Amino acid sequence: MRLVFSDEFKHQNSELILNKFKSISRRKFVRYGGLILLAPVIYAWNELVGGEAIKTKPKAIQIPEGAIPQGFSFHDQVIIFREDDELKIFLSKCTHLGCKINREIEGKLVCACHGSSFDKNGSPLNGPAVKALKKLSFRMDRSKDLVIVNL
């Protein structure tokens, strides 16, 4: 069954639709139009930054226990503090703006970007960072002499 509309019916309905659009204010039109134009930008940003990077990120890293000296040591995405047999492992990302922390000065971890410093427990000593470094869980594999860090 096929529906056939008369020209008069089509004209009346098109007038209704046009009148509805005439009642939209300029402000609403710009707001909705901006949202429509912003959607592809948000999608592209997610694909470039969040999409693949998160999917391919390793879940854990393995570090030979013999490669961990006393004090601070830097291993790719993590910072390890060893004091005798005690290990503390932190993400090497500054809590201020996410810069990589890769240096130690006088027993303190120092962010090269804005100068935030952290103690051996990951607590902030000097700003602009106010949050502690993210502490990571790990386990020891004694059979292979490895430290396995969960990211």
Q: What is the mean pLDDT of each run of 10 residues along the chain (151 residues)?
A: 58 58 72 79 74 59 84 86 88 88 89 89 88 89 85 79
End-to-end C-alpha distance for the chain, whole angstroms = 62
Token pair of 58 as six digits: 């390793």
Domain boundaries, the chain: 7-55, 60-150
Fold of 60-150: Rieske Iron-sulfur Protein (2.102.10)
Give the C-alpha separation, 31 to 131, whole Å.
37
- Structural Rg of the chain based on CA atoms: 28
**What is the reported pTM?**
0.58
Token pair of 27 as six digits: 């402000």
